[in-house]
Structure 1
Amino acid sequence: MSTAIKLKHIGRNISRIRELKGMKQEALAFAIGLTQQSVSNIEASENVDEEKLIEVAKALGVSVEAIKNFTEENVINYFNTIYDNDFSHSNGAIQSNHCTFNPLDKLMEAVEENKKLYERLLQTEKDKNEYLEKLLKGK
């Protein structure tokens, strides 16, 4: 009877963590000062040198151990634990997070602020043009 030991593929773990965080290879490459192709090569590698692994872990916001010990099962257990905790604290009722503000109101506030800034910019340009015209007429 042979026992197959599943070797850890560090590059694949980096790839899965990056994907779970919603990060593209380009963003990770920028964060660690490499090209997208270099990140692709790292993710294809079974082993990654320790210095590079530290940089990647820092950019992903996880520990080196999290990358080395990453498994899909751990991710599922993590989310199940969060769900179970939320469920147990709510006395059986599923709770959802609610905003304490109306997102549309915040969007409209931002639109109004942009309008005001644009009007100020436009007025500044008009003032600059008037000033330049006065200078030209004075010569």
Structure 2
Amino acid sequence: MSTLTKNHIGRKISRIRELRDMKQEALALAMGTNQQTVSAIENSETIDEEKLVEVAKALGVTVEAIKNFSDEAAINYFNTFNESPNNYFGLTNCTFNPLDKLMETVDENKKLYERLLQAEKEKVKFLENLLKEK
């Protein structure tokens, strides 16, 4: 019994379509055909080059991508991508406590408000004195 699988082009088309989160109906619409035709293509072990070009265009991939597609290569690609140490760009160690920074900002705002309030009180006193003098 052979452990090699045949180069089933229909299965490759099906997997690429699924990876692109596309239903058979959507692929059929993009190709200008019906869902039954897409189903027949995906069940075919081989398809003619002209039809393959049409399918590739509808899927947004090259003919070579379909011919050379393998589940293992796709899985390895995603596993390599997910295990890369550069993928942790969003996870950084904070060197300060965000709550402390927030409280500092609140204190600064409070001091600014008190200074503004004091300036307004002084302005009111000055204007009252001007009115009394007249």
Q: Structure 2 length as normaliser, TM-score?
A: 0.61
Whole-Å Cα distance in 1 between the matches of residues 75 and 58 of structure 2? 23
Q: Match of 2:86?
A: 89
Q: Structure 1 regions of 5+ residues with no counterpart?
A: 97-139
Q: Percent identity?
A: 60
Instruction: Return the letter of the residue paired with 2:78.
Output: F
Q: How many angstroms does 1:6 deviate by?
A: 2.4
Q: Which residues of 2 match residues 43-122 of structure 1 at below 5 A?
A: 43-84=42-83, 87-89=84-86, 93=88, 95=90
Whole-Å Cα distance in 2 between the matches of residues 64 and 49 of structure 1? 12
Distance 1:73 1:95, change over 3 A: farther
Q: Match of 2:117?
A: none
Distance 1:66 1:79, change over 3 A: same
Whole-Å Cα distance in 2 between the matches of residues 63 and 81 of structure 1? 23
Q: Structure 1 length as normaliser, TM-score?
A: 0.59
Q: Deviations over 1:51-72 (max 9, x none)?
A: 1111111111111111112111
**Structure ID, larger Rg:** 2
User: How many residue pairs align between the two structures?
Assistant: 91
Q: Match of 2:103?
A: none
Whole-Å Cα distance in 1 between the matches of residues 2 and 36 of structure 2? 36
Q: Match of 2:28?
A: 29
- Over aligned residue pairs, what C-alpha RMSD do you find? 2.0
Q: Match of 1:136?
A: none
Runs of 4 or more, structure 1, over 2 Å off, are: 2-6, 93-96
Q: How many angstroms does 1:7 deviate by?
A: 1.4
